[in-house]
């Protein structure tokens, strides 16, 4: 079965919970991009990104909401959606590095140690995304 093919089997409960939880986290973060945390997200956008910081924050917020909704609402496509989410987490990682290298305070990360520690959680998010899209329940 291809990663692009719809899944016809049910997912184990733990994986389904992980998928729905990740979807909710993404959607919540996406709303933050568009509202109260907009300035903090703009601080993470590296200067070399060829688009305006506000555009990047708004666009990535929209993508996060869409990906979160897809994880929750499209369980038959969980494999492909989870890999897209994993790729998204890899794509935004330079923003986390930028925050660390430039000593930018945002999201309560007000020391280099906190910002460095956060870098090690990005691979966890990638693995969470992949795990959330896998698993076949054996009935």
Q: Which of 98, 106, 35 is nearest to 65 (CA)?
A: 35
- Indicate the average pLDDT of the chain: 92
Distance of alpha carbon 132 from alpha carbon 78, whole angstroms? 8
Give the pLDDT confidence of 111-133 residue by residue, as tens digits.
999 999 999 999 999 999 999 98
Helix pair angle (78-101, 13-34), 10° resolution = 50
Distance of alpha carbon 80 from alpha carbon 90, whole angstroms? 15
- Domain-by-domain residue ranges, the chain? 13-133
Q: Is the dihedral of CA 120, 121, 123, 124 positive or negative?
A: positive
Model pLDDT, residue 1:
54
């Amino acid at each position: 079965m291809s990663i692009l093919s719809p899944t016809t089997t049910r997912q184990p409960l733990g994986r389904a919970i992980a998928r729905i939880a990740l979807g909710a986290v993404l959607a919540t973060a996406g709303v933050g991009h568009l509202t109260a945390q907009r300035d903090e997200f703009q601080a993470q956008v590296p200067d070399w990104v060829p688009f305006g910081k506000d555009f990047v924050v708004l666009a990535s917020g929209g993508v996060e909401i869409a990906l979160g909704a897809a994880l929750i609402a499209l369980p038959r496509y969980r494999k492909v959606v989870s890999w897209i989410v994993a790729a998204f987490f890899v794509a935004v990682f330079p923003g986390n590095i930028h925050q660390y290298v430039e000593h930018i305070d945002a999201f309560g990360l007000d020391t280099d140690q906190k910002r460095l520690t956060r870098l090690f959680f990005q691979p966890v998010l990638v693995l969470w995304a992949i795990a959330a899209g896998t698993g076949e329940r054996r009935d």
